[in-house]
Chain A
Amino acid sequence: MDAIVTLLGDYTLRTVALGAILLGVTSGALGSFAVLRKQSLLGDTLSHAALPGIALGFLVAGGRSLSAVLAGALATGVLAALTMLLLVRRSRLKTDASLGVALSVYFAAGVVLLSFVQGRAGAGQAGLETFLFGQAAAILRSDLWIMAAVTALSVALVVAGWKELKAATFDPVFAASLGLPTAFLDAVMTAMIALAVVLGLQMVGVVLMSAMIVAPAVAARQWTERLGTMVVLASTFGAVGGVIGALISATGRGLATGPLIVLSLTVIVAVSLAFAPNRGLVAAAVRRARSGRALRARQVLATMDRLAREHGHPDYATEQGMLDTYFGTSTAGLLRDLEERGWVRRVEHRPEEGVHWALSEAGAVEASRVPTDAGRDAGRHAGRR
């Protein structure tokens, strides 16, 4: 705790942490829409396509002016999105190939422009390389104002257009039937992704920015079925992952910030995938094991019921060993489950024989509810398990 307080007392680190929070909140919130609309990879294309904009912004401003660089990145990002849309709508290329084309060609243009800048500007270009993988320590206090402005703009967009964005995300046809301007909303959401990308350029860099958009949203999606909760959670995850990665990077050792943030977020995603209460893989596995066990217990119950009826008296005692043989596996646990529910009871047996079980009255009623085939096929199914 003390260490954290000391860390946050440091001026640079405080700047970095604030920047990471701003970035996390924005990309988490805006990324939620992208992921739900199955546009996760659009973020990848937009972020790679920011590279030529960065170089152009640098050339136009004649130096490493953040606002010029961000404006340039936003412009080429949006241009790449338009190129991709144009290819999808007016050529026979699929979305996938169009994304790949826009990504690689814009990035290549960025590489060319970057080398051009390096050729001209000499030492000044050092600042541009950091946009590839991000460098938290390069963030200045004055940059925070620009980042805060972009965050405010994105939050305002989401809040103001909440209902419309929600409708267009989940049911575009319905949204269109309500008379909502869906093409405009599409454009707004694409612009939102571009905004998030631009915000992350300094901290995460163009190559990994797509993860910043996808990961918090995917993690948040595991915990909730509601859009509002998801957006808030994604923002939180984004901020937490961002701060952890940025602080580790900023404390020295020369580790690039982008990869550290991405790995922090990857851990959050893995934990969410595994342990989220409803959709989590562990919860699902437990549910599956439970319902499998319940089903097998029913099969045991039905088998006992058939035996009882074929022997012509309801208290017929079935030997556990016989059930084991019939099902090809130990039924002791299943019988204990049934006993707990009061559907079977142990009956007296001679010492040289194994345990015997009989149906209780409630058990007989329950067994009659099991579809008749279940008892007969029980042996075969159980054998296969």
Chain B
Amino acid sequence: MSALLTSIPFAIVATGALVGVAGSLLGTFLILRGDAMLTDAISHSILFGIVIVWMLTGQTSGPVQIVGAALTGLLTVVATEALTRTRRMAGDAAIGLVFPALFSVGVLLLNVYARDVHIDAHTVLLGEIGFVWLDVVTVLGVQVPDALLWMAVVALVDLTFVVVAYKELKLATFDAGLAAALGFTPAVLSYLLLGLTSATAVAAFDAVGVVLFLAFVVVPPSAAYLLTDRLWRILAYASGIAVASSVIGYLLAVAWDVSIGGMMAVVTGAFLAAAFLLGPRYGLVAQELRRRGQREANENRALAVHLHHHEGTPEAGEENVLSALHGHLSWRDAKAREVVARSLDAGLIERHGERLILTEKGRASAREILEPGRGGPATEAGR
């Protein structure tokens, strides 16, 4: 155990994974509420809080920093809301004004006061997850990296919050009006959520920096949201994606000798791209397949209706043949052959010499369209 905790790769991957899990737990609610860019604003502005607390106490991490950042995050939210309430600008413009101002003050204070200290704008922005093992504390006789310890504490608080307030969060996220009517005060919940987001951001900034933190908050839940509809599954999938991204990101970063935190965030992006393309229900491929399935079913139906229309009439001999489809349904010959072959396979029609004859199943599928509600039990024949 002790050996594991002091192993550098473990410390790095574990820190990344904890940032990702904590971020995903909160981020799931944030993206569902439409607060992704507010999170971006918060994660930038906490630089202001970090610098102020550092100037007052000389600490760059620990509980004071975490509380200070939570307050800065709330300041950002309150200032943004106040500006929006003046109705002199849209909400997104207010966000775009508040965080650059706070971030600028933070950077300038660093420029002036922090020349020789290990806290600098570059670190705050990008993080140095590779160096998490430099600062260690001893807990229960085991040396644990500082950042890992605080990240674990914050992640635990986040987890407790989500578990305890799960029902309320769910309600406030999907139906704020009802939540308010039931007396759940969604505003308080919302401030708690955003305050915890800020606290998590400051615990994470040492490791991944403020901008990459946004990736860990927004991207895994977004990817999970493309995979499933159930809230607890989004939380679980997002956490899983975050952990996997930390491991894969670390390995790739070491292999290519590039930024570890950056690579972890890029891998979350790869997961999102995969979910976007290959997601079971909402993925592009699944959408395309579904669309094609529908088109094919429609073509089968059109053929069945055509055959049904001429069935038993004198001209059936010349209409209900493959060669007539070109003129009547304006299908190219290749397509007509394709549809006929598919309908034969599906048992909708049979071929008698040149003639195409509807089966009972095919007739039912035609009637479903021609006489909706009378065609007997609905069939899946067309599909």
| Inter-subunit contact B121/A48 (CB<8 Å) | no
Chain B: which residue is nearest A276 at the CB level?
B88
Q: Kindly list chain A residues whose C-beta atoms are within 8 Å of the C-beta of B188.
A: none
Contact between B276 and A109 (Cβ–Cβ < 8 Å)? no
Determine if A364 is an interface residue (Cβ-Cβ < 8 Å): no
* Residues B105-124 near A (CB distance < 8 A): 105, 107-108, 111-112, 115, 121-122
B204 CB, nearest partner CB in chain A, Å: 13
Complex Cα gap A133–B120 (Å): 12
- A346 in contact (CB, < 8 A): no
Q: Which residue of the partner chain, among A104, A132, A211, contacts B215 with CB atoms under 8 Å?
A: A104
Contact B268 A105 (CB under 8 A): yes
Cβ–Cβ contact B259 & A255, under 8 A: no
What's the interface size class on A, roughly? 35 or more
In the complex, B235 has a CB within 8 A of chain A? no
B268 to chain A: which residues have CB within 8 Å?
A: 105, 108
How far does the Cβ of B194 sit from chain A's closest Cβ, in whole Å?
14
Question: Which of B104, B259, B276 is A259 in contact with, Cβ under 8 Å?
Answer: B104
CB proximity to B under 8 Å, residues A217-273:
217-218, 221-222, 253-256, 258-260, 262-263, 266, 269, 273
Is A92 a contact of B218 with CB atoms below 8 Å? no
Which residue of chain B lies nearest to A111 when distances are taken between CB atoms in the complex?
Answer: B262
Q: Which of B35, B88, B96, B284 contacts A214 (CB 8 A)?
A: B96
Segment among A10-18, A57-65, A93-101, A366-374 that sits at the interface with chain B: A93-101
Contact of B218 among A91, A101, A217 (CB under 8 A): A101
The number of chain B residues with a CB under 8 A from chain A is: 59
- Asked whether any CB of chain B lies closer than 8 Å to the CB of A149, the reply is no
| Cα of A258 to Cα of B218 in the assembled complex, Å | 26
A41, A129, A262: which contacts B95 (Cβ < 8 A)? A41
Instruction: Indicate which residue in A119, A217, A260, A262 contacts B257 across the interface (CB closer than 8 Å).
Output: A119
A346 and B262 alpha carbons, distance in the complex (Å): 80
* Interface residue SS majority, chain A: helix
A75 smallest CB distance to B (angstroms)? 18
**In the complex the two chains form, is A92's CB within 8 Å of B226's CB?**
yes
B212, CB-defined interface residue at 8 Å:
yes
Residues A48 and B282 in contact in the complex (CB < 8 Å), given A97-B31, A100-B36: no
Q: Tell me the residues in window 84-138 of chain A with beta carbons closer than 8 Å to chain B beta carbons.
A: 87, 90-94, 96-97, 99-101, 103-105, 107-116, 119, 129, 132-133
In chain A, residues 197-222, which have Cβ atoms closer than 8 Å to a Cβ of chain B?
A: 207-208, 210-211, 213-215, 217-218, 221-222
List chain A residues, Cβ under 8 A from B104. 208, 211, 258-260, 262-263, 266
Q: Collect the chain B residues with CB atoms within 8 Å of residue A133's CB.
A: 107, 121
**A residues less than 8 Å from B105 (CB atoms):** 259, 263
Q: Are B92 and A108 in contact (CB under 8 A)?
A: no
Our count of residue pairs bridging A and B at CB distance below 8 angstroms stands at 203
**Smallest CB separation, A339 vs chain B (Å):** 36
Query: Which residues of B have CB within 8 Å of A273?
Result: 86, 88
Assess the B272–A105 pair: CB atoms within 8 A.
yes
B272's closest neighbor in chain A, by CB? Answer: A101
Which of B37-45, B166-174, B290-298, B374-382 interfaces with chain A? B37-45
Which residues of the other chain, A, contact B15 by a CB distance below 8 angstroms? none
Q: Are A100 and B40 in contact (CB under 8 A)?
A: yes
Cβ–Cβ < 8 Å partners of A217 in chain B: 93
Interchain CA distance A44-B89 in the complex, whole Å: 17
Q: Which residue of chain B lies nearest to A115 when distances are taken between CB atoms in the complex?
A: B259
Q: Is B218's CB under 8 angstroms from A207's CB?
A: no
A19 to B100, CA, bound (A): 21
- In the complex, whether B250 has a CB less than 8 A from a CB of chain A is no
Q: B residues 247-286 with Cβ under 8 Å of A?
A: 253, 256-259, 261-266, 268-269, 272, 276, 282, 284
- Which residues 59-114 of B sit at the A interface, judged by CB distance below 8 A? 86, 88-90, 92-93, 95-97, 100-101, 103-105, 107-108, 111-112
Please determine whether B259 and A105 come into contact, CB atoms closer than 8 angstroms: no
State how many angstroms separate the Cβ of A50 from the closest Cβ of chain B.
13
Q: Does B327 contact A (CB under 8 A)?
A: no
Q: Quote the shortest CB–CB distance from B299 to chain A (angstroms).
A: 25
With a CB–CB cut-off of 8 A, which chain A residues contact B257?
116, 119
CB distance from B324 to the nearest CB of A (A): 39
**Known contacts A256-B108, A256-B121; A103 and B214 CB within 8 A of each other:** yes
Q: How far is the CA of A211 from the CA of B112 in the complex (A)?
A: 22
Identify which of B214, B263, B276 contacts A112 (C-beta below 8 A). B263
A44-B37, A108-B212 known; A207 vs B219 contact (CB < 8 Å): no
Given contacts A97-B36, A112-B266, 14 further A-B contacts (CB under 8 A): A41-B95, A43-B96, A94-B36, A103-B214, A104-B214, A104-B218, A108-B212, A108-B263, A112-B258, A132-B125, A211-B97, A214-B93, A259-B105, A259-B111
7 CB contacts below 8 A, A to B, read A38-B92, A94-B36, A96-B37, A105-B268, A107-B265, A263-B104, A266-B100
